[in-house]
Amino acid sequence: DLEERQKEQEDLIQELSIVEKNELFREQEKQEDNLAKLRMNINNKFGFKKALKKLKFELEKETIHIPNINTFFLRDFLKNPINSLVNESRDLPKFSSLLVQLRHVLEKNKLNLKTEVKDKTIHQINAIFDEKTIQSDIDKIKELNNKINELKKQIEQAGLAINREDIKNKIATNTLKIERLENDLDRKNKDYMRYLSSIKNEREEFQKSVKKVLNEEVKLNITFSF
């Protein structure tokens, strides 16, 4: 039964591999990989998050007062920078305003950061304004999200998603059954070894008793029939 289950598992894994080689799945994986790389690239431009966290902390303590600062956007940005920008209006006015306010606070040294950290953060903010690539990066994020959603829709319509999920469920169920069978076999093997050890001990005692009575060496063989 264990061998049958293992063979069935191999067949299911092979079947899943064939399904996932479908062009739609491969394209989805490719676009999701592109999206992950782009998100990482954008996040790398946000080295000023440490200063923003310090700013948020000081604002909450009310040790710093900044007119018209959008604290809701500040909190959202710190939780998920990219999503907050994706949900921003064109040209990212809230983001731009926040950076200008942060730069002003840094230039006035109101966050009491080390000079090196402060200068580096100001440089990062200036680079964002100089390069002007964040909006185009966010546009690419939206474009990739749309592509992925469209691919998911096509996969769903083709019945591929249900088929893949069904195979995965079968693999998961079969895995549990295999584990139970393997555990059962392991338990039986341990029982067998304990039983064999017990018989060997009894044989040894019997052979000693015979030798004591008959003064002869007697050897008993242990044979199992299955």
**Domain range annotation of the chain:** 45-158
- Angle between helical axes of 23-43 and 134-157 (0-180°, round to 10): 160
Mean pLDDT taken over the chain: 91
Residue position matching structure tokens 């966290």: 53
pLDDT level of residue 203 (50, 70, 90 thresholds): confident
Residue 138 near residue 106 (C-beta atoms within 8 A): no
Span 97-137, pLDDT tens digits = 999 999 999 999 999 889 999 999 999 999 999 988 999 99
Q: How far apart are CA 193 and CA 206, in angstroms?
A: 20
Angle at the Cα of 165 (from 160 to 167), degrees rounded to 5? 95
Instruction: Report pLDDT for 189.
Output: 87
pTM for the predicted model, two decimal places: 0.69
Instruction: Report pLDDT for 226.
Output: 55
Instruction: Report pLDDT for 221.
Output: 72
Residue position matching structure tokens 């591929």: 160
Span 23-74, pLDDT tens digits = 999 999 999 999 999 999 999 999 899 999 999 999 999 888 898 899 999 9
Percentage of the chain modeled with pLDDT above 90 = 70
Between 208 and 126, where is the model more confident?
A: 126
Span 135-152, pLDDT tens digits = 999 999 999 999 999 999
Instruction: Report pLDDT for 214.
Output: 77
